[in-house]
Structure 1
Amino acid sequence: MRDHEPVPGSSGHRLTTRETAEALGVKPETVYAYVSRGLLTSRREPGGRASTFDAAEVDALARRNRREAAGTPGSGADLSVRTRLTLIDDDRYYFRGVDATELAVRHSYEEVAEWLWTGRLTPGVTFTAPEASVTVARRAVDALPEHTSPTDRLRVAAIAAAAEDPLRFDLSEETVLGTGRTLIPTLVAALPPARPGHRDTGPLAHRLWARLTGRPADEASLHVLDTALALLVDHDLAASTLAVRVAASARAHAYAAVSAGLGVLEGPLHGAASGLAHRMLLEVLDQGTAVPVIADELRAGRRIPGLGHRLYAGEDPRARVLFGLLEQVPRAEPALLAARDVVATTARHAPLHANVDLALAVFTASSGMPATAGETIFAVARTAGWIAHALEEYGERPLRMRPSGHYVGPRPPQPLPG
């Protein structure tokens, strides 16, 4: 089908799932994946059980897919970035060629971060922050209103830590790596503790736990948190990571690049998904079943949080690992059952798999953490990946992240307004 040929029946007609799949050249399961990603909207006709799709919307998506496949200007293909960090392929992902899930299960967050940064494993490595950096970051964060979101707190902490570092404009590999090793624990230390009197010692996951919940830590739960951090270190060019690379391309220092990533992360379509899933699970637990909760979400026109991922046709490998570990945490069982109920209830009409946001929600909901805890975990974890991408970008030609705009406004010359 050529670009100028519309999908048959595109003048207001609706297509079945099979017709939509044929028009897009994909499997029916992929059609529902497009729905979960917000690329298509589905509707059930009165009295019918099957989903239908707007033919014009399907036609637009088909055209976009063909442009991207052809690599035409403006399709996004011209923004591809060479990287040695993360590969996502066939429902698995790899850090520097090594299975990321195996790394995360066998090594600490700090060890996985070092592997991503240097290609070397450093057993037993622990990140620590200079007292001066922590003091200035805490002072800045403490001045914020009480209702400030965790991501805002982290961004303010990063800016304050940058102001304290006279070497921040040194973009050499050694200095940037030093920034990563001190900035991440500074971000954690700047967050208000949930348990007063906690000592900031031990692995980063132990220190972060005390910022997320007042409950005492047990080894199984700490292992889940540490593994979650390691799993989330990087995930190719997510929106926040692309922002980091754009900043690094302009030779912004590492603190500023991380701040750019945190700014994008706070968007509701990126970092907030686990919080939405957290609230949904609490409602399912309150109702005793997922059926009315899912129905209310769909009736309001909302996507079901925690389901589907644009890069995985099957289950998100990060979710698979975390669910397996959560089975070893007795108090997580109710939230685990609620999550499985959500997946099973939704699967009646849309075969979507659980993603890492749902797994994070099970962990945070069962650990007495607030709904924002998943976003905090994500932000702290991904900071290591942002440092890795910034470091990679510093080795490229400056300002290469400069696409040309495709102007679609009125053609000049136009008369002066007024």
Structure 2
Amino acid sequence: MTDQAAPDDRADARAERLTTRETAERLGVKPETVYAYVSRGQLNSRRAPGGRGSTFDAAEVDALVRRTGRREPSPAGGDLVFRTGITLIETDRYYFRGVDATELTTHYSYEEIAEWLWTGELRPGIRFTAPAEALAAARRSVGALPAHSGSTDRLRVAVVAAAAADPLRFDLSREAVLGSARSLIPTLVGALPTAVGAPATADGEAASHPSGLAHHLWPKLTARPADAPSLAALDTALGLLIDHDLAASTLAARVAASARAHPYAVVSAGLGVLEGPLHGAASSLAHRMLTEVLERGSATPVVADHLRTGRQVPGLGHRLYTAEDPRARTLFARLAEVPQAAPALAAARDVVTTTARHTPLHANIDLALAVLSVASGMSAEAGETVFAVSRTAGWIAHALEEYGERPLRMRPSGQYVGPRPPQSLPAPGQASTHGDRPQ
């Protein structure tokens, strides 16, 4: 009779065994953490053949991954990495759900792209509508702000008011979040004051107008009458800016969603970061530069002033693109169809050409937004407004992804650099020994 292995031995022979390093990679942790799991009884180890190191059952490791949620290992640069199916940026192009984003904006409206980004379903002709109660609350709140308040101030207050008007905002089911998103974006636009001299837009007009949200936003930005090419350019800008991977404001939105903040709070987090001068306000600098170029008749003295004072020329260069920002290229092409944009477009090209004599930088989306705002008689902060309204859809898309992840997974550890305990109680007026450190 042929010798046969016992049933348990056969199972062990078939079971996949992992080394400590392989186990750590599968869990997304350091090797020391693997042994911490062993000491807590969450993993079982076995000495490797020959007595060197330990091995772990692959099925048991995978079960632990499912229970705890895999923590993606940090790359060599130390940057955070998140799995996302929303935006891919590579080879000087960017894609929404695998589709060239610039192509999307030439065929579909902002609302259609936003809906597709959220759901993966294209719904031609969809228009977002603001609920009357939320819109009224947002307008009252925004109307109470000081006259000098900026558009981002107004948008942040409008989000809070809209949240207060939605008693079901804590429902984080997918359909509930989508409903909140479809109502919040037009509420933000509707809460903004109409530009001085511009005709008021009826509350329900945006929902039925072919240009949708762009038509409703236009009179909030400028008193000039809207023509079809200009509305198309604004709608294109909105579509192009919906998302751009994990920009600073989007990361803040995902952190909020990780803590299971409701979608209004997620948008508030994004707006808070967007208000920084290194993010959303960049287009206003380009707007002022283009205005000066038009006033002085040439980009040469304007660029020279920036270089002489050590200031970066606004609207040029992007860390993710080696060539021209594809968003800028697409918006420039749309603006070329707007007759009154010709002088601002020429000024932008003059800036790029003049700067290239010193350093080969290409136009980015901030310069294209500046052309739109200057050509349309908008204020310097109009580009920031367009950016904020548009990116709200992207923040919601990322929130929907993050709600499906393990909660509170973004919990970095601080590197404490203060005085070592124990320290005596401080006396009144006594300064800390580390009082000169940034807090």
Deviation at 1:391, TM superposition (A): 1.0
Deviation at 1:230, TM superposition (A): 0.4
Identical residues among aligned pairs (%): 72
User: Is residue 332 of structure 2 the alignment partner of residue 292 of structure 1?
Assistant: no
SS in 2 for 1:88: strand
Please provide the CA RMSD for this pair: 1.4
For 1:292 and 1:238, locate their aligned partners in 2 and report how far apart those are by CA, in whole Å.
33
Deviation at 1:87, TM superposition (A): 0.4
SS in 2 for 1:313: coil
Q: Deviations over 1:213-246 (max 9, x none)?
A: 1111110010000011000000000000000001
Letter in 1 for 2:170: F
Per the normalisation by structure 2, the TM-score is 0.77
Partner of 1:101: 102
User: Is residue 143 of structure 2 the alignment partner of residue 142 of structure 1?
Assistant: yes
8 Å Cα contact 2:92/2:322 also seen in 1: yes
State which of 339, 344, 353 in structure 1 corresponds to 2:353. 344
Give aligned pairs, total: 347
Query: How has the CA–CA distance of structure 1 residues 196 and 330 changed in structure 2, closer, same or farther, with 3 Å as cutoff?
Result: closer
For 1:348 and 1:399, locate their aligned partners in 2 and report how far apart those are by CA, in whole Å.
49
Partner of 2:157: 156
Deviation at 1:177, TM superposition (A): 0.4
Deviation at 1:70, TM superposition (A): 8.2
Letter in 2 for 1:89: E
For 2:249 and 2:78, locate their aligned partners in 1 and report how far apart those are by CA, in whole Å.
16
Partner of 2:235: 226
Letter in 1 for 2:86: L
Partner of 2:33: none
Partner of 1:392: 401
Partner of 1:76: 78
User: Is residue 323 of structure 2 the alignment partner of residue 314 of structure 1?
Assistant: yes
Structure 1: 4+ residue segments shifted above 2 A: 69-72, 196-200, 298-301, 406-418
SS in 2 for 1:305: coil
List gaps (5 residues or longer) in structure 2: 1-72, 428-439
For 2:325 and 2:418, locate their aligned partners in 1 and report how far apart those are by CA, in whole Å.
41
Partner of 2:54: none
Deviation at 1:413, TM superposition (A): 4.3
For 2:362 and 2:260, locate their aligned partners in 1 and report how far apart those are by CA, in whole Å.
39
List gaps (5 residues or longer) in structure 1: 1-68
For 1:352 and 1:415, locate their aligned partners in 2 and report how far apart those are by CA, in whole Å.
56
With a CA cutoff of 8 Å and minimum separation of 6, indicate the structure with the bigger relative contact order: 1
For 1:197 and 1:349, locate their aligned partners in 2 and report how far apart those are by CA, in whole Å.
46
For 1:149 and 1:300, locate their aligned partners in 2 and report how far apart those are by CA, in whole Å.
28
Partner of 1:45: none
For 2:255 and 2:350, locate their aligned partners in 1 and report how far apart those are by CA, in whole Å.
41
Letter in 1 for 2:215: H
Letter in 2 for 1:71: P
For 1:410 and 1:335, locate their aligned partners in 2 and report how far apart those are by CA, in whole Å.
56
For 1:142 and 1:76, locate their aligned partners in 2 and report how far apart those are by CA, in whole Å.
44
Deviation at 1:417, TM superposition (A): 4.2
Deviation at 1:178, TM superposition (A): 0.4
SS in 1 for 2:216: helix
Partner of 1:197: 200
For 2:290 and 2:250, locate their aligned partners in 1 and report how far apart those are by CA, in whole Å.
28
SS in 1 for 2:95: strand
SS in 2 for 1:390: helix
For 1:244 and 1:366, locate their aligned partners in 2 and report how far apart those are by CA, in whole Å.
32
Partner of 2:217: 208
Partner of 2:129: 128
Deviation at 1:416, TM superposition (A): 4.8
User: Is residue 380 of structure 2 the alignment partner of residue 380 of structure 1?
Assistant: no
SS in 2 for 1:127: coil
For 1:231 and 1:90, locate their aligned partners in 2 and report how far apart those are by CA, in whole Å.
17
Partner of 2:336: 327
Letter in 2 for 1:240: S
Letter in 2 for 1:205: A
